[in-house]
A and B are shown apart, each in its own frame.
Chain A
Amino acid sequence: MNISPSVHTFSRDEAAILQEVMNIAFGKASADLARVIDIRIELSVPQVELMTADGLLPRIKEETKVYDALSIIEQNFWGKFSGSALLAFPSTAKKGLITLFDEEGEEDSPLLEKETLLEVGNILIGACVGKVAELLGDMVSFSPPRLNPHVVINNLAQEAVSQQLDGADKTAVLMKTVFHFEDKDISGFLFLVANQDSMAWLQTALNNFMAKF
Chain B
Amino acid sequence: MIKKILIVDDSPVARAIVKKCLPKDHDFELSEAGDGQEGVQKFKEVRPDLTMLDLTMPVMDGFGALAAIKKEDRKAVVMVLSSDIQKKTVAKVMDLGADLVLPKPPSAESIQEALTKAARILEG
Binds A, one of B23-31, B72-80, B83-91: B83-91
Q: Is A157 in contact with chain B by the CB < 8 A criterion?
A: no
- Cα distance A19–B16 when bound, in Å? 14
- Nearest Cβ in chain A — how far from B56, in angstroms? 5
Please report which residues of chain A, range 35-64, place their CB below 8 angstroms from some CB of chain B when the two chains form the complex.
35, 39-41, 43-45
Please report which residues of chain A, range 166-213, place their CB below 8 angstroms from some CB of chain B when the two chains form the complex.
182, 210, 213
- Nearest Cβ in chain B — how far from A17, in angstroms? 5
A: number of interface residues (CB 8 Å): 26
Instruction: Tell me whether chain A's interface is mostly helix, strand or loop, or mixed.
Output: helix
- Cα distance A35–B85 when bound, in Å? 11
Q: Is the CB of B13 within 8 A of A24?
A: no
Q: Is A95 in contact with chain B by the CB < 8 A criterion?
A: no
In the complex, the chain B residue whose C-beta lies closest to that of A35 is B87
- Cα distance A20–B16 when bound, in Å? 11
Q: Is B14 in contact with chain A by the CB < 8 A criterion?
A: yes
A residues in contact with B86, CB < 8 Å: 30-31, 34-35, 40-41
Q: Is B4 in contact with chain A by the CB < 8 A criterion?
A: no
A residues in contact with B105, CB < 8 Å: 20, 24, 135, 213
- Nearest Cβ in chain B — how far from A117, in angstroms? 21
Q: Is the CB of A210 within 8 A of B13?
A: yes
Q: Chain B interface: which size bin? A: 20 to 34
In the complex, the chain A residue whose C-beta lies closest to that of B18 is A213
- Cα distance A40–B85 when bound, in Å? 10
Q: Is the CB of B88 within 8 A of A34?
A: yes
- Cα distance A25–B85 when bound, in Å? 11
B residues in contact with A93, CB < 8 Å: none
- Nearest Cβ in chain B — how far from A11, in angstroms? 12
Q: Is the CB of A26 within 8 A of B57?
A: no
Residues of B within 8 A of A (CB): 10-14, 16-17, 20-21, 55-58, 82-89, 92, 103-105, 107-108
Residues of A within 8 A of B (CB): 1, 13, 16-17, 19-20, 23-28, 30-31, 34-35, 39-41, 43-45, 135, 182, 210, 213
The 3 closest A-B pairs by CB, nearest first: A27-B83, A40-B88, A213-B20
